[in-house]
Chains A and B, each alone.
Chain A
Amino acid sequence: DIVMTQTPLSSPVTLGQSASISCRSDQSLLHSDGDTYLSWLQQRPGQPPRLLIYKISNRFSGVPDRFSGSGAGTDFTLKISRVEAEDVGIYYCMQATQFPHTFGQGTKLEIK
């Protein structure tokens, strides 16, 4: 299975500032079809996960443009600009290039 490693595990952020979360896979996520199936999910307290970003940098339906994704190969980043109180939660990266889809261990975003 592909191992996904996120850093940091906890990220205290001031409201209005930016936050970045890194995700690294132990093998390339480039699929044979030429796409890279790396997604980011948000899980607010007491809620199911919600898809934010797919294929590295594509925002899912209804996701604010404060959320952006970047990266390639084995290294990926989620950036949250102008952090708001509703952004509090745990963020997961997930690869779907190879079965089983695997998730990072999660990064807890909290407000300072």
Chain B
Amino acid sequence: GESVGLHLPTLSVQEGDNSIINCAYSNSASDYFIWYKQESGKGPQFIIDIRSNMDKRQGQRVTVLLNKTVKHLSLQIAATQPGDSAVYFCAEKLTGGSYIPTFGRGTSLIVHP
């Protein structure tokens, strides 16, 4: 299933399915993007990042896609597991601006066994 991110803050999937979490960013001057995972009772954890000169980057079971034309970022999680249940935040950094990331609205991912 897909989440439209800002308009659907909760995504429910079955264990083993692929998950897609979306994020729309507003600043075309952003040149670096990060996805964070925040489990209940914990701080955000870095998952994967991507620079604006790339359109895809893969990690272990996760892929980030960047579409600069429509200012859209997505996080794909393959074979989603119950341990993936968390809130996922995208964050962006501005070109030449502060090195501190600006967090977007989160999406809650719920994985059903």
Do the two shown chains form a genuine complex with each other?
no
Which A residues have a C-beta under 8 Å from some C-beta of B? none
Which B residues have a C-beta under 8 Å from some C-beta of A? none
